[in-house]
């Protein structure tokens, strides 16, 4: 199954990626919002469309993996910069 995803990045106090996910005749719309706060990063994912049930199964796992990788990248960057 082939997927296409396209969207726009909106920047301000936070970063928001508004996107459309399509495959064949099916489409869905979503939004990934990233908010940077002192000492933390907040991610919010919203999606409505044909992949809603499936996305619910894998998005939690993806966010957990993303968070772990982000923590490790930040740790390595702090070591590199000696912060």
Average of per-residue pLDDT across 23-28: 86
Q: What is the CATH number of the domain that holds 27?
A: 3.10.450
Question: pLDDT: is 15 or 60 the higher one?
Answer: 15
Report pLDDT for 18.
92
Any residues with CB less than 8 A from the CB of 2 and at least 6 apart, and which?
23, 24
Q: How many domains does the chain have?
A: 1
54: enclosing H helix or E strand:
helix 52-81
Q: What is the pLDDT of residues 41-83, one digit of tens each?
A: 888 888 888 777 777 677 778 778 887 888 888 889 888 888 6
Residue 7: both structure tokens together: 């969207």
Please answer whether residues 14 and 33 qualify as being in contact, where contact means their C-beta atoms are separated by less than 8 angstroms. Answer: yes
Question: What are the beta bridge partners of residue 36?
Answer: 41
Domain residue limits at 69: 4-81
């Amino acid at each position: 199954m082939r997927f296409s995803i396209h969207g726009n990045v909106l920047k301000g106090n936070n970063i928001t990626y508004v996107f459309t996910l399509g495959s064949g005749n099916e489409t869905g719309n979503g939004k990934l919002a990233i908010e940077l706060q002192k000492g933390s990063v907040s991610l919010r994912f919203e999606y409505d469309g044909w992949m809603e049930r499936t996305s619910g199964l894998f998005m939690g796992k993806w966010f957990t993996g993303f968070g772990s990788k982000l923590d490790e990248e930040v740790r390595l960057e702090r070591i590199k910069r000696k912060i």
